Chains A and B, each alone.
Chain A
C-alpha cells in the first residue's frame, strides 16, 4: 500500500496561516470613463471586480492564471491581463474594457468592425480580449506586417482558431486605429 496522502494535492502542505479575517478594502476605479467606488476583498482581481461587482461581463475568464488572454483590458491604453491584476492596484488609472470601445447603439470601433467583417471569431469568447489586444498591438507599432501581427497577437489564444481572420481584421483596422 502506498503512503497516505493528505491535502488536496499530495505535494501541497496544509496552509498554516489562520483564515483570512472578513474584511474589505475601499477602492476607486475608473472604467470606461466612469468612476466606481467599491468595497472589496483585497484579493479581488481586476477581472472579478469588473465581472462580479461592476457588471461588465465583456471581459472573460478563460484560465485565471495569465495563460489565455481572454481577460485582456487596457490600463492607461496598455494591454494587461485582468486576472493577474489586483483591483486595488488600478486606482488613479484608466481601465478600458470592450464595453468602452464604442457606444451601445452607435458605430463600432474600427477594430470591432474589422473583426465583424472578416469573421475573426467563432464562439466569440476570446473576442473581447483579442480586440483590445489588437488595438494595443497597432498602437505599439506591432501591426506593420502579417508576421508581426501573428507574433504580437499570440498571447491571445483562440481555441476556435480564427487566427487567419484575426490577422486580416487587424490589417484592415490598423490604418484607422493608428490615426485615432
Chain B
C-alpha cells in the first residue's frame, strides 16, 4: 500500500532527534557570540530606586549592562495579542523603573563568556521601593472585571435560575484549579545575530511569522529584515505562541554590541519571563429530572490575570455547549493582580473549566443514583444548545461505549469505598473530553521533481506533535509517492506562512493546503507538464474572509472553526476512564491504569497521534495529582520555581495507558476531515482522576491538585 494519511510510520525527523543532530535554537554555533544573563526583580510591585553597576562592570569580560537607564525607548509599545497584536504581555521591561510583577526582567548583562555574564549578573546591586502587591484572588487591591467588558460573550440560553429552582435533583459546588507553568524542557533561549542590517533570530517558536512581524514592530524595522529560524522546538505547550519580552531585548543588545548575543535564561526565570496557566475558581450548579436529563447549567468562573492585560481562559464557551441543556447561564470574571500575564497552556480553556463541569456531572450522577457514563449518554446531543448549531460530527457515545468496554466499567460497584486491594482503596472514575476543532488560513509550496522526489515548504511548526511526519504523509498521498521521497521543511519565517501551532489546528490547516497544492501538481501532470513542478497554494477555510491570508503574512492569527463560529459546531470528543489506588493510611494516590477513547476525525499519522494522546492523558494525571505553582501571598512571588519542587509526572508515576482511536469521517469539518488531537487527551483526565478518588475514598476532591492532605481525616 502506498504511504498516505493513516500510514503507521516512524517520525521522519526521528533520526535527527535520537542522534543529537536536531538543532534547537541554542544549538546554533555562531562565531564571536556574546552571552547574556538576565537579572530579574526581587519584588512584585514598586519601583527601582537605584542600580549599582560598578561591581558588575568590573568583572573581566563584561561588555555591557542593559537596564532601563540605557534601554528606555528601545522597544516600542505594541498591542496585546488578543487585541490583534503580537505580544503575550504588554509589560515592557527595561522601559522604565516600574515593577509590575515578581521576576520581571530588570537588567541583562552581556559578557564574553557565560561564566562572566553570570557572575556579573549576581554582582549587580538593585534597590527597590516596594509597594504591597496583590498576589491573587483573596488579596486586597485586586481589580475584578467581567470578561464581557472586554468583549467576551458569556454563553446563555433559557432561564437557568428558574429551571434550577424548579428542578427535582440538583447539585451546587465550588472548584478551583491552580497556577501551572508549561515548563518545556528547552529553556526560553534566544540568539540574535545581525548580518548586513538584517536580524536573524534563533528561538523556539510556535509562530515564526508572528515572531518575525512582532519583533519588527517592537524594534521599528521592516519585517522583511527579520528571519526567524526554528526547525526544532524543545516543547512548547502554548508558551511559545505569542511574543515574550526577551526577544527584542536580546536583538537590541546584539545590534548595539555588533556581535551575536545568546541568552539562555535559567529555569526559575522561565516562570516569570513567559506565560503560565491562570488559576481559576469556579461555581457550578446543575439540575436534572429523575431521568438524568439536564434542566439547568450555571457555570461561573474567576481567573487571575496581570494588571494591564485582560488574558481570559473562558472555558464556559465549551462547557455551555457540550450537553443538551435548555437553560444555561455562564459568566467569566477577570481578577487583575500584581502578576505576570498568563497565557495559553495546553487545552487552555477546557482543562480548568471541564474539570469543574465533569466533576459536577459526577456529583450529579451520585445525587441521581445513576451511572456516570449513562448520565453523559442521556445528555448527548447532536446540536450545541446555545445557538442550536449542529455538530459537524460528534461521536461521544461511541467513545463512552468503547472506553467503558476496554476498561471493564460494567464490573464497577458504584458505592464509594466499595473496592479495595490489600491496603489500597480502589476507585474507578470517568469523564468526557472535548476539544474544539480549529482550522486556519494557511499557505504552502510543494515541488515534485522528475525523479519522484518531493519537497513541502511551509512555516508550520513541529513542537513535538509530529507535524513533519503528518504533513509528509499528506504530501505522499497527494502525489502518490512513498514517504521516504518527501522532504518537509518547517519552522522558518522565509517559508510561506502557516498558522500558530495552537488550538490543535496545524494538521487540519496545513494538510488541507498541502493537498490542494498536490492536486494542482497532479492536474498539471495530467495536462502533460514535464520537468519539476512547483506549486504555491493558499487555503482559506470556509467561514474565514479572504483577507485571512494577508493577516497571516502579517503574522496575525486567522483561525476559524470551533464551537461558536458560523453554521456548525466542530469538535473532537473523548471519554477517559481511570483507576486510582489510594493508600488506606497514607492516602498516597497512584494511577495504575487509564483508558482514553477518542473520536477525532481522520487520524493522519497514527503512531504520533497515539503519542500525543498518551502524552495528553499524562498531562491530565499531572494536573490532577502533581502540578501547582505555589505563591507566597505576602510577596506575590513564586515559591517552587524549579523542576524538583514544581512537580511534573515522572516515569514512575505512569503505568498502563490505553488509547483507542475511533474511525470517524467528517467531510463537513474540512475537506480532509481532520480534527486536532494535541489537546484532547489532556481534557477531562483531571476530572476522571478526581472522580476516581471520590469513588475510592468517599471524599470529593474539588481543588487541584489532589494532595494527600485533602484526603486525610
Contacts and interface: CB of A to CB of B under 8 A. Distances in A.
Interface of A: 1-2, 4-10, 14-15, 19-22, 41, 43-44, 48, 51-52, 55-65, 67-68, 70, 97-99, 101-102, 104, 108, 112-113, 115-117, 119, 121-128, 131, 149-151, 153-154, 156-167
Given A60-B24, A158-B185, A165-B611, A116 B129 contact: no
26 contacts: A2-B132, A4-B127, A5-B127, A15-B122, A15-B123, A19-B123, A41-B116, A51-B26, A56-B20, A57-B27, A58-B21, A60-B185, A60-B186, A63-B643, A67-B644, A102-B19, A108-B15, A113-B18, A121-B18, A122-B612, A124-B17, A125-B184, A150-B654, A156-B651, A157-B185, A161-B614
A5 B42 contact: yes
A60 B234 CA distance: 10
A57 B184 contact: no
Interface of chain A, main secondary structure: loop
Contact of B130 (A2, A68, A149): A2
A106 to B, nearest CB: 10
B657 A164 contact: yes
B126 interface: yes
A59 to B, nearest CB: 7
B626 to A, nearest CB: 12
Contacts of A57: 20, 23-24, 26-27, 29
Interface in B648-693: 648-657
B242 to A, nearest CB: 19
B19 A61 contact: no
Contact of A122 (B27, B61, B120, B611): B611
A124 B22 contact: yes
Interface in B227-266: 232-237, 264, 266
Contacts of A124: 13-14, 16-18, 22, 232, 234, 464
Interface of B: 10-11, 13-24, 26-27, 29, 39-40, 42-43, 49, 55, 58-61, 113-116, 119-132, 182-187, 232-237, 264, 266-267, 463-466, 607-608, 610-612, 614-615, 618-619, 622, 642-644, 648-657
Contact of A5 (B43, B608, B648): B43
A86 to B, nearest CB: 11
A161 B122 contact: no
A160 B651 contact: no
Given A52-B114, A122-B466, A159-B185, A67 B40 contact: no
A125 B234 contact: yes
A41 B18 contact: no
B21 A19 contact: no
B615 A122 contact: yes
Given A62-B187, A64-B267, A119-B10, A160 B464 contact: yes
A115 B20 CA distance: 13
Contacts of A126: 185
A85 B237 CA distance: 30
A82 B649 CA distance: 23
A102 B607 CA distance: 25
A57 B189 CA distance: 14
Contact of A123 (B233, B264, B650): B233
Contacts of B27: 51, 57
A158 B120 CA distance: 32
A72 to B, nearest CB: 12
Contact of B10 (A59, A62, A116, A158): A116
Nearest to B62: A19
Contacts of B614: 161-162, 164-165
Contacts of A2: 130-132
A7 B127 CA distance: 6
A57 B150 CA distance: 45
B681 to A, nearest CB: 10
Given A1-B129, A123-B184, A41 B115 contact: yes
A61 B18 contact: no
Nearest to B463: A123
Given A63-B643, A99-B20, A150 B185 contact: no
